[in-house]
Structure 1
Amino acid sequence: MTNEFSKRNTMNLINQYYQKINASLKQIIEKETNKIEILAEKAYGAIRSNGLIYAFGTGHSHILVEEIFYRAGGIAPVYPVLIGSLMLHERAVLSSKLERIDGIGEAIASDLPISSRDVVIVFSNSGSNSVAVTFAESTKKIGAYVAAVTSVEHSKNVTARNELGKKLYEVADLTIDNHVPYGDASLKMNNITVGPLSTICGAFIIDSVMAEIVKLFEKDGIEPPVFLSANVPQGDEVNALLVEKYRKYIPML
C-alpha cells in the first residue's frame, strides 16, 4: 500500500512538472514566436554578411550557450563565450559573486572580435547581474545586434545589480521572454520549491531560432552550415568541413 501511494504521488508530481513546462512553452509559442523569427532573420543576415552569432551566459545560463555550440542539428557559425570562472565547474559560489562585479562584462566584450556584423545573444534568467547586463551594453555600443533570453517576470521583481542600474531586457535590442516565473523553480512542496524551468524553456527558444535560421538558408536555396551527429554515417566528414571553414573565426572549434 505504501509503495503504491508513493508511486501515485511521484507520478502526480511528474505530471505537475510537465504541466508547468507546458504552460511556459505555451506562453512562448503565443507571445514570443514573432521575436524568435526576428532574431533568426537578424542572425541569418549576420551570417550571410560573414558575421557570427556570439552567445554568452553565466552560471546555469552557460548551458544554453553550449546547447547551440558544435551541436548535432545546430549551425556552425556560433561563437560560444564561455568564461570558466563564471560557469560552475571551477567554483560555483565564487562564480555567483563574480557575475555581480562591475567591469567584468566590459572586459570580456573588449577581448572578443565582435563587430557590427555580428549578433550577440545573452542568456540570463534574472537579467539583473552586472556581467550579463554590461556585456550586452558593451557589445551593443560596438554596433552588434543584441538579443536577450530572460525571464521578464523575474527581472521586474529584483533590483539591478550593476553600475547601469538596468535589467537585461532594458538594454537588449530584442528581448525574448522565457516565461519562467520568479525564482525559476516551479513546484511548491510545503516550504520548498523545485522543478526549474529556465534551461528547458531557454533551450526550446534558442533551438527554435537555430531551426528558423536553417529554414531561411533553404528558402534562399543555400546549403546551411549544419553539424551532424558525429555518431552517424558521414558525420565526421561533414563536420570536418565545417570546422575547417569556421575554426579561424571560432578558436574553440
Structure 2
Amino acid sequence: MNYTKTYLTKAKHIISVVEKQEAAIKAVAELFAQSILNKRVVHLFGSGHSRMMVEEMWPRYGSFPGFNPIVELSLSFHNLVVGANGQRQAMFIENVSGLAPKILRNFDITEDDTALIISSSGCNVVPIEMAEEFRKRNVKVVALVSSLHLEGSDSKRKDGKKLTDFADYVLDTGAPLGDAMIEIEGLETPVSPGSTLGGVLLINALKAEIAAILQQNGKPPKVLASGKIVGEQRAAELFEMAYDEHAHNLARLFENVGKKK
C-alpha cells in the first residue's frame, strides 16, 4: 500500500471540492473586501487547531491588514498537551457556554464588520456562540467547516444548533467525517487529517480575491513581502506600514468600547 500516494489522491479530491466553491469564495471575498474598504475589519475566530486558519489569513508573508485575529490561548494552546494549560482543559473550555460574549465585549463591533468563524465540526459551543453573537450585532458571518464532518456530528449545544445555523455563507474544506483520511492495514483508527489542507486552500483563495478587489478599488493592500521579491528595504517598509495599519484598525475597535450608543 502506497500511503503517500493515497493521501495525495485524497488531497486532489479536496482541491476539487474547493474548486467547485469558486462562486461562493468570490461572494465572500466581496463581503470581506467591503469591510476593509469601509475602514473596518473582518473578525477571524477559530478554537483548537482551527487557530491555524486564523494565522494563515493574517499576519504572515503574502497577507495584509484588514483582519482582527481573535485567538484565545485557553482554547488553542496545544503544545504542552498535559498538565497546566493542557489539551483536556482546552477541549473542555471550548464547550463552555457564555465565553463568546465575554470575548466580544472587548471590541466595538459595527454592522460594517464581517466575521469568519472556523470550526471543522461546527458543533462546539464557543465557535457557535461567537457566530450567534456576531449575528446579534447585525454582522454577516461566514462559516468555514468540514461539511461531511458537521453533518455526521451532534452539536454540543443543548438546542442542537450548529455553526452553520448562524452563518450567512458556508465554505467547505472537503474533509471526510472524522477528518483523518488514511486507513493503515491492521490499525484501528485512520490517520492524516484533511481539514487543514482544505482550510488553507480556502483562506488563500479568499486572500487573493480580496487583494484583487482592494487593488481594483484603488486601495492596494500593504502586503507582508519577502525581501527576495521586493528588496530588503521595501520589505521592511511594507512590514512597518502593514503593522501600523493593523494598529489603526485595532484602535477603531477599541475606541468606543463601553460607551453607550
TM-score, normalisation: structure 1: 0.90
2:38 is aligned, of 36, 43, 49, to 49
User: Which residue does the alignment assign to 1:24?
Assistant: 14
Tell me how far apart the structure 1 counterparts of residues 157 and 93 of structure 2 sit (CA, whole Å).
Answer: 12
Tell me if the contact between 1:101 and 1:131 (Cα under 8 Å) persists in the aligned partners. yes
Measured against aligned partners, the alpha-carbon deviations of 1:163-186 in whole angstroms (never above 9, x if no partner) come to 442111121111111111110000
| 92-101 vs 229-238, greater mean Cα deviation | 229-238
Task: Please state whether the residue corresponding to 1:122 is helix, strand or coil.
Answer: strand
The alpha-carbon deviation at position 45 of structure 1 amounts to 0.6
**Runs of at least 4 residues off by over 4 Å:** none
In structure 2, what is the Cα distance between the partners aligned to 1:243 and 1:228?
13
Q: Map of 1:113-128 to 2, 5 A cutoff? A: 113-128=108-123
Helix, strand or coil at the partner of 1:74: coil
Is the partner of 1:112 in helix, strand or coil? coil
Q: Distance in 2 between matches of 1:213 and 1:145?
A: 16
> Which amino acid is 2:68 matched to?
Y
Q: Give matches, 1:103-114, under 5 Å.
A: 103-114=98-109
The alpha-carbon distance between structure 1 residues 140 and 225, as it changes in their structure 2 partners (threshold 3 A), is farther
Q: Aligned ranges for residues 57-206 of structure 1 at < 5 Å?
A: 57-89=46-78, 90-189=85-184, 190=186, 191-206=188-203
Q: Is the 8 A contact 1:40 1:209 kept in 2?
A: yes
Give the gaps of 5 or more residues in structure 2.
79-84, 252-261
| Aligned equivalents of 2:151, 2:137: Cα separation in 1 | 27
How many residues matched? 240
Identical aligned residues as a percent = 26
Residue 82 of structure 1: CA displacement?
0.8
Q: Which letter maps to 1:99? A: E
Corresponding position of 1:207? 204
Answer with 241-250 or 127-136: which moved more.
Answer: 241-250
Cα displacement (A) at 1:230: 6.3
What is the CA–CA distance in structure 1 between the aligned matches of 2:36 and 2:248, rounded to whole Å?
Answer: 15
Q: State how far apart, in whole Å, the 1-side matches of 2:108 and 2:183 are.
A: 44
> What CA RMSD, in Å, does the superposition of the two structures yield over aligned residues?
1.6
**Equivalent residues of 2:77, 2:87 under 8 A apart:** yes
Partner amino acid, structure 2, of 1:226:
V
Report the TM-score, using the length of structure 2 for normalisation: 0.87
